Structure 1
């Protein structure tokens, strides 16, 4: 499946901005099941400095600086990617979740060792006893990890309400647990908190969903906006993604932009500016299939 994604961010300021420095995570990364064919960043007004680097997590990060007076800032990323569905074994055939947890500490498994950073608390995902206890219901003794994680995802989908008016980017995991509602970011943070509480490696994934659903299927929640889900490290499989907002394992409709410990590591755009007064923010995302 080939997809084209356009992500436009526009700031309209009430007063002039004399200088701004920004960091963006808008270019899709290369993954085992995703290949970025092309990606371009358009910035208006034109920046004095614009460079790209790869961060600690392997994400493509762009830094730019606008050093002229401006009252509007518009950043548009247009990318084309090729995405495939992961070929996973039967959930019951995967190792027990305790084996996956213990494998993280075995020196002969470098890939597992490298994932240890994702077992630790992070700014937006502190270790939370309620989230750990909630996860424990699915992770019974000796249960295969793919089966347990799928059950955990399904429970979040069934027992938490999708409510775009409930939370902000900084809503604590504890509040999401208490109110049983939130959006894709909240469900990802909740799942990660529960998994890390069990000693498993779980990371936050930021990206997009295909805008238009295939014929005869229901449109997925999270379309026409940035989307978020989580992935868990499994021995011999690597990172496997799960989307609790839609209760499915991401496939050809999901585009991965960046991964990190939580949302703070992968924010689409952040920075500082001097002046500007108040501002209006407009974000528009469009994802479409490329028909050849």
Structure 2
């Protein structure tokens, strides 16, 4: 599948800003199943300084800074991306989850060591007995890890309600578990907490999901949104496999990957600090548009 992506972020400040520094992670990652032949980041007002680098997790990151009085900021990421089909391994052919846990936790440097860094708690994803207990029924002894991951993903999808007003960006994962409600970020954080509390490596993935309007209706401009899911290390042969608990599916051509990290705090699309702003109003509009060619 080929897509045109437009992600528009606008800030309207209550007061005039004199200096601001920002970090954007809005460029699609180059991956074996994904390529991005063209990406442009348009910023108004024009920054006085700007640079692009890869962060600690390999995400394309743009730093920019503004000087001079301004009351608004607009950042528009415009990309073309192609996503290829993913061939997922058969669940029963993946190793037992305890074997993956043991290999990733070994003190001996091996092929699992790098993945093992994603076993630990992070700023927005704690590890705790309550999360391990919730996941336990899907992880009986000896079960192949991908089968267990699919089962946990499906149970979160069935037992939790998608509710845009139940949580906000700062809602603790323990409260999400108690409320049994939230949005894609919450379900990704919950699944990460469950997996890591069992000692398994898992990372947070941010991106987009192609949505389709109801039959007979036209696509609304700016009506799409950022999406979040998880990726679980399923052994050296299977590698990292993505899982989307919001939609109970293993992502494929309709999922577009932008960045990954320990949790949302590592991959926020745009964040920064300002001097003199006071309050601010934020508006985000996203378009994921299927195209015939690039």
Would you say same fold, with TM above 0.5?
yes
Q: Is the 8 A contact 2:89 2:238 kept in 1?
A: no
* Residue equivalent to 2:193: 193
Q: Secondary structure at the match of 2:206?
A: strand
Q: Is the 8 A contact 2:229 2:245 kept in 1?
A: yes
Q: Is the 8 A contact 1:211 1:286 kept in 2?
A: no
Q: Within 2, Cα distance between the matches of 1:38 and 1:27?
A: 9
Q: Within 2, Cα distance between the matches of 1:23 and 1:141?
A: 44
Change (3 A) 1:215 1:231: farther
* Residue equivalent to 2:174: 174
Q: Is the 8 A contact 1:211 1:288 kept in 2?
A: no
* Residue equivalent to 1:38: 38
Give RMSD over aligned pairs. 1.7
Q: Within 1, Cα distance between the matches of 2:30 and 2:103?
A: 25
* Residue equivalent to 1:135: 135
Moved over 2 A (4+): 105-110, 211-216
Q: Within 1, Cα distance between the matches of 2:214 and 2:162?
A: 22
Q: Is the 8 A contact 2:163 2:182 kept in 1?
A: yes
* Residue equivalent to 1:90: 90
TM-score (structure 1 length as normaliser) = 0.94
* Residue equivalent to 2:18: 18
Deviation at 1:108, TM superposition (A): 6.0
Change (3 A) 1:196 1:42: same
Render the CA deviation track for 1:17-68: whole Å, top value 9, x for unaligned. 1111000111111122211221110000000011010011110111000112
Unmatched segments (≥5 aa) in structure 1: none
Render the CA deviation track for 1:94-130: whole Å, top value 9, x for unaligned. 11111111221454633x2101110011010011221
Q: Within 1, Cα distance between the matches of 2:279 and 2:16?
A: 10
* Residue equivalent to 2:246: 245
Deviation at 1:131, TM superposition (A): 1.3
Q: Secondary structure at the match of 2:124?
A: coil
* Residue equivalent to 2:59: 59
Change (3 A) 1:287 1:156: same
* Residue equivalent to 2:292: 291
Change (3 A) 1:225 1:19: same
Q: Is the 8 A contact 2:94 2:238 kept in 1?
A: no
Render the CA deviation track for 1:137-173: whole Å, top value 9, x for unaligned. 1011000111110010000000000011011111111
Q: Within 2, Cα distance between the matches of 1:61 and 1:81?
A: 17
Q: Within 2, Cα distance between the matches of 1:214 and 1:149?
A: 31
Q: Within 2, Cα distance between the matches of 1:94 and 1:238?
A: 10
Within 5 Å, which residues of 2 pair with 1:195-234? 195-212=195-212, 224-234=224-234
Q: Within 2, Cα distance between the matches of 1:246 and 1:286?
A: 19
* Residue equivalent to 2:256: 255
Q: Is the 8 A contact 1:6 1:78 kept in 2?
A: yes
Count of matched residue positions in the alignment of Structure 1 and Structure 2 = 286
* Residue equivalent to 1:99: 99
Unmatched segments (≥5 aa) in structure 2: none
Q: Secondary structure at the match of 1:126?
A: coil
* Residue equivalent to 1:269: 270
Deviation at 1:75, TM superposition (A): 0.2
